[in-house]
Structures are given as C-alpha cells and as structure tokens.
C-alpha cells in the first residue's frame, strides 16, 4: 500500500458491489473543485474496468491505480 499520490479526499467503498463504488466516487467528485484528487478504496474486481472507463469518458485523470490482495485503490484528479 502506498500513498505516493497526495489526495484531498478519501472514499472507502470497500464491500460495495458494482456500480456503487463508481457512483459514490462520482458523487464525491461532483462536490470537489477542479484539480482536486480523490482516493477511492474498493474491493469489487469490476471496479478496475469501471474506473478506467469513467476517467477516460468524464475527462478526469486516473493518476494511479493499485491492486493489492483484492483491495483496489484509485487516485482520480478531477477535470
């Protein structure tokens, strides 16, 4: 586990199944100013595909993603 990327807000979506981690992240990003970084923690394997696609389509930057023993971490920089 690393916190190499500074973040403004952390969202723990552990234990939630698709699409809830992404929906919660989207709601949190809507409240954040442009340029802010959201760290998301999830345990749903489908979140990998979801967050990559969401970042690309919404214009956000996926700064880093980690997969450690079934725990997925994402750092998203809001567009």
Helix axis angle for 47-58 and 20-31, nearest 10°, is 30
Beta sheet of 71-77, edge-to-edge order = 9-13, 37-42, 71-77, 61-68
C-beta separation of 28 from 78 below 8 A: no
54 flagged as catalytic: no
Catalytic pick from 5, 16, 18, 20? 18
Rounded to whole angstroms, how far apart are CA atoms 51 and 66?
A: 12
Tell me which residues are annotated as active site. 18
């Amino acid at each position: 586990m690393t916190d190499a990327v500074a973040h403004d807000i952390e969202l723990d979506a552990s234990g939630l199944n698709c699409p809830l981690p992404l929906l919660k992240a989207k709601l949190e990003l809507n409240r954040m100013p442009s340029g802010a970084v959201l760290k998301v923690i999830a345990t749903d394997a489908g979140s990998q595909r979801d967050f990559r696609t969401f970042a690309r389509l919404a214009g956000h930057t996926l700064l880093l993603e980690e997969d450690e023993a079934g725990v997925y971490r994402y750092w998203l920089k809001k567009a």
